[in-house]
């Protein structure tokens, strides 16, 4: 029997009426001849409520108990979905992570999959059950404790099940009807894509697009799981975007999308010693402090000119704005410990990152020139540039972010199919 994985996010199961709507979509796939594994998130807002209860109860909470509390939201949804399907005449059974079992590492709050044995769910399908409703976002450690996978973990759960069970496709139901060339709230000309390659989706997700969780796309690309992103509230034929292998896309545009992230900060270490190992001395302490460094640029320091004879350099990098304090402390501690020497640390918390992404860049020249010309025409100054094979990212003043996104969307004519 062919098998589908269907994942429903928090807004898709926000109340009993929406759970019934989701159940009807599952029933329709069963009637088409599929066995279905349904992955559910907690009802919209429930996870935040549970996290709040934990933090109110214990400021320095035990991570194992945090996971035990926070995972309960998905358990409730799974049970309600199974009950709704049973009332509709669809043989369904709910599964918590430990019952499958979904085996994970013991990193509570950010666990990773080890394996998903098929035996228990396959046995239920063999008995005549048509739907297994699995609580997303959670698993079981080797110590027998409940673990959680971090925010967005239900997407990753869905892809992992699709890979483990060889599903024909993994459908991610959410509150948007697909992947767009950019956020329609920023550019009214944004166009929904029918298909997008794994690599492009991974870049867009990591650069700020919030349609899919980054880890889920990484997993889908590794195991060639065909993903479809679609809305729970749209039954039209044009609903959805297929995330697939590059070979499934006949002809790719040079640029497929424009991504952005408002919450960026630019940090510069001024007059760092220019010697072998200095980068390790800087970014090692930042990594140990849990700071997520993104763009990195090394510049010749002004002190290399004139009468100054010391070999020094300036090191500029970007971090999420909510990690600035942690980065500042890590660098001060490294300075005090003599790990690295610098004159001062400059921080700009009023920047944004804007990126263009497209697998067509591999075979086309002039993309960077076109991007920079479009920004220059709008008097947008570029602070930092970073490139890869299929993306170009820039840091700019945050006040120009929406203008930059619209200008780039127009320059690459992304509104055209």
Annotated binding site for substrate: 47, 74
- More confident position, 321 or 207: 321
HSE-up of residue 388 (Cα within 13 Å, Cβ side): 17
CATH H-level superfamily of 259-411: VC0802-like (3.30.2130.10)
Annotated binding site: 7-10, 47, 74, 174-175, 180, 185, 210-211
346: helix, strand or coil: strand
Q: Which residues in the chain are classed under CATH 3.30.2130.10?
A: 259-411
Residues 6+ away with beta carbon under 8 Å from 272: 278, 282, 301, 312, 313, 314, 315, 340, 341, 342
CATH class entry, domain 3-175: alpha beta
Please tell me whether the peptide bond between 311 and the residue prior to it is cis, using omega within 30 degrees of 0: no
User: Does the structure show a pLDDT above 60 at 307?
Assistant: no
Q: Which residues in the chain are classed under CATH 3.40.1160.10?
A: 3-175
**Structure confidence at residue 203 (pLDDT):** 87
d(CA 124, CA 116): 15
- Which has the minimum average pLDDT: 67-76, 241-250, 375-384? 241-250
d(CA 8, CA 145): 25
**Angle in degrees, CA 185, 354, 363, rounded to 5:** 110
Average pLDDT, the chain: 92
User: Does the structure show a pLDDT above 80 at 304?
Assistant: no
57 C-beta neighbours (distance < 10 Å), count? 11
Strand order in the sheet with 241-244: 92-95, 131-135, 35-40, 3-8, 169-174, 227-231, 241-244, 195-197
Tens of pLDDT, residues 135-149: 999 999 999 999 999
Annotated binding site for ATP: 7-10, 174-175, 180, 185, 210-211
d(CA 335, CA 338): 5
Q: How confident is the model at residue 241 (pLDDT cuts 50, 70, 90)?
A: very high
Is the separation of the CB atoms in 355 and 266 below 8 Å?
no
Give the chain's length.
Answer: 417
User: Does the structure show a pLDDT above 60 at 261?
Assistant: yes
Is the separation of the CB atoms in 148 and 138 below 8 Å?
yes
């Amino acid at each position: 029997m062919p098998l589908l994985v269907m994942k429903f996010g928090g807004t898709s199961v926000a109340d009993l009426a929406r759970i019934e709507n989701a159940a009807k979509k599952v029933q329709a796939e069963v009637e088409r001849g599929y066995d279905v594994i349904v992955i559910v998130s907690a009802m919209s807002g429930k996870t935040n409520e549970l996290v709040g209860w934990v933090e109110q109860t214990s400021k320095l909470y035990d991570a194992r108990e945090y996971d035990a509390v926070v995972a309960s939201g998905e358990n409730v949804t799974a049970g309600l979905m199974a009950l709704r399907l049973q009332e509709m005449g669809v043989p369904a059974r709910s599964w918590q992570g430990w019952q499958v079992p979904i085996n994970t590492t013991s990193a509570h709050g950010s666990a990773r999959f080890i394996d998903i044995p098929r035996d228990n769910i396959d046995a239920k399908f063999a008995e005549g059950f048509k739907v297994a409703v699995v609580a997303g976002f959670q698993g079981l450690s080797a110590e027998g404790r409940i673990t959680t996978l971090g925010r967005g973990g239900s997407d990753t759960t869905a892809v992992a099940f699709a890979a483990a069970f060889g599903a024909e496709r993994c459908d991610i139901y959410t509150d948007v009807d697909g992947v767009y060339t950019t956020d329609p709230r920023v550019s009214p000309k944004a166009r929904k894509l029918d298909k997008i390659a794994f690599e492009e989706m991974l870049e867009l997700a990591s650069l700020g697009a919030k349609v899919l969780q980054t880890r889920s796309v990484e997993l889908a690309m590794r195991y060639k799981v065909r993903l479809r992103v679609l809305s729970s509230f749209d039954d039209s034929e044009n609903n959805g975007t297929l995330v697939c292998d590059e070979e499934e896309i006949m002809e790719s545009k040079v640029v497929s999308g424009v991504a952005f992230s408002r919450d960026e900060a630019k940090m510069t270490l001024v007059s760092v010693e220019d010697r072998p190992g200095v980068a390790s001395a800087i970014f090692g302490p930042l990594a140990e402090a849990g700071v997520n460094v993104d763009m990195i640029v090394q510049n010749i320091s002004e002190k290399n000119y004139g009468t100054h004879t010391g070999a020094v350099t300036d090191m500029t990098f970007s971090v999420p704005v909510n990690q600035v304090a942690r980065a500042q402390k890590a660098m001060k501690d490294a300075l005090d410990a003599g790990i690295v020497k610098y004159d001062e640390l400059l921080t700009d918390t009023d920047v944004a990152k804007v990126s263009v992404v497209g697998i067509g860049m591999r075979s086309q020249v002039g993309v960077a020139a076109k991007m920079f010309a479009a920004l220059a025409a709008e008097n947008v100054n570029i602070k930092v540039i970073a490139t890869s094979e299929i993306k170009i990212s820039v840091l700019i003043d945050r006040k120009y972010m929406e203008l930059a996104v619209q200008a780039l969307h127009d320059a690459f004519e992304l509104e055209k199919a």
